[in-house]
Amino acid sequence: MIRVLVIDDSAVMRNFLGRVVASQPDMELAGVVSDPVLAIDRIRQSAPDVITLDVEMPRMNGLDFLGKLMLAKPLPVVMISSLTRHGADATIRALELGAVDYIAKPASLEEFQGAAGEIAEKIRTAAQARVLRRGRHVPAQRAVAPSSVSFGRSTGMGTIIGVGASTGGVEGLRTMLTALPGDMPPILIAQHMLPGFTGAFARRLDTICEMSVKEAEDGEDVLQGVAYVAPGGRHLLLARRRSSYVLRVTDDPPLNRHRPSVDALFQSMVESAGAHAIAVILTGMGSDGAEAMLELRRAGAKTIAQDEASSVVFGMPRQAIALGGAQEVLALGDMSRRLKELCAQGPLA
């Protein structure tokens, strides 16, 4: 049984989340408390497997509590987030601090009922996650870019990098991207994330990376030194326009239950870049990206999957490895080094 502790200052949310947990055959409610101060004693008493945590609460902010928890007693935490810019920014910070996932706070009774199944699945995923003790330090501003950086230059039909991630991917992408120089080939990112949160994610990365990071827009040219994040709820695809690459952002149906989908991104790279591509699959639940990564490998692309020891959830990398799509399996801390090595060899193909 998965023991769940609910921490939320809203009586409505406490009641709703408590009922969701109690209705699942594989879960039990370890407690329901209104603020983190009360939660400290409850954690000691009931030893929960997963915590759901609101951000804005009395006596102690949810982010402050999360930072202390990850230092003292790391546990899988699912954040309860409001669909506001402030809420999205706070959620991204929470994921950097060690939260496994987040749930967008429903706005109506109808949305409450419709979200129950998704919430239960996120709690189950969190219960399987690998959570490590960590400090609260995360980079606060962009590092100084080297003088050789040339932002905004077209890459023609040269090397292009695609990255797919899900649960744990926010921290994984931060770790990888902040270690890359600003003159890297373009990077296209499909991170499973809801609308309203990808903009905050891209803005946050842009402040701490040497590369420029932005939310992708339909029809824009693909430029060196820029990482493009798929907008939440939309697919990001790579296309050709004459002798250069261009982005397509579409509302096509979900693929593997996801939009954005890693398979959709990687499949478009098979068609548009082929052997010029480098594909990376990071931590995440499920199998999204595995089949298209195999197609990329067969097309001559370089393909890399994150290893189990450094993954929060090993589902997506495991499937890519099992299908034979991953040429290399690397720890998260080695990803940026390997990407720099591959790109230093010159344009692929």
> Is 288 considered catalytic here?
yes
DSSP 142: P
Token pair listed for 219: 């029809």
The verdict on residue 38 lying in a domain is yes
Same domain for 197 and 112? no
Q: Could you read off the pLDDT of 173-201 as tens digits, one per residue?
A: 999 999 999 999 999 999 999 998 999 99
- Residue in the block written with tokens 């296209």: 188
Of 34, 166, 310, 336, which one is the catalytic site residue? Answer: 166
* E strands in the chain: 2-7, 27-33, 50-54, 77-81, 101-104, 160-165, 187-191, 212-215, 226-229, 235-241, 244-250, 277-281, 302-306, 328-330
Cα 86–203–219 angle (5° rounding)?
A: 120
Identify the pLDDT of residue 87: 85
Token pair listed for 278: 């480098």
Same domain for 104 and 201? no
Same domain for 180 and 122? no
Same domain for 165 and 77? no
Sequence-distant (6+) residues with CB within 8 A of 5 are 30, 31, 32, 33, 39, 42, 43, 46, 48, 50, 51, 52
The verdict on residue 152 lying in a domain is no
Below-50 pLDDT ranges, the chain: 135-152
Q: Which of 92, 228, 235 is nearest to 170 (CA)?
A: 92
Token pair listed for 270: 């098979």
95 exposed, middle or buried (CB, 10 Å; 0-12, 13-18, 19+)? Answer: buried
Q: How many Å apart are CA 177 and CA 213, to the nearest integer?
A: 9
Q: How many Å apart are CA 247 and CA 218, to the nearest integer?
A: 6
- Domain containing residue 173: CATH number: 3.40.50.180
> Is 147 considered catalytic here?
no
The verdict on residue 143 lying in a domain is no
28 by DSSP, 3-state: which?
Answer: strand
The verdict on residue 76 lying in a domain is yes
Domain that holds residue 251: 160-344
Same domain for 172 and 302? yes
Q: How many Å apart are CA 274 and CA 349, to the nearest integer?
A: 8
Same domain for 186 and 306? yes
The verdict on residue 154 lying in a domain is no
Of 34, 81, 192, 272, which one is the catalytic site residue? Answer: 192
- Domain containing residue 104: CATH number: 3.40.50.2300
313 by DSSP, 3-state: which?
Answer: coil
Same domain for 193 and 109? no
Same domain for 178 and 63? no
Positive or negative, the Cα torsion across 58, 60, 65, 66? Answer: positive
State the total domains in the chain: 2
Q: Could you read off the pLDDT of 207-258 as tens digits, one per residue?
A: 999 999 999 999 999 999 999 999 999 999 999 988 899 999 999 999 989 9
Identify the pLDDT of residue 143: 40
The verdict on residue 312 lying in a domain is yes
Q: How many Å apart are CA 94 and CA 115, to the nearest integer?
A: 21
The verdict on residue 135 lying in a domain is no
Same domain for 165 and 115? no
> Is 35 considered catalytic here?
no
230 by DSSP, 3-state: which?
Answer: coil
pTM for the predicted model, two decimal places: 0.90
The verdict on residue 26 lying in a domain is yes
Of 287, 288, 307, 336, which one is the catalytic site residue? Answer: 288
Q: How many Å apart are CA 24 and CA 118, to the nearest integer?
A: 12
Same domain for 93 and 174? no
Same domain for 113 and 178? no
Same domain for 176 and 90? no
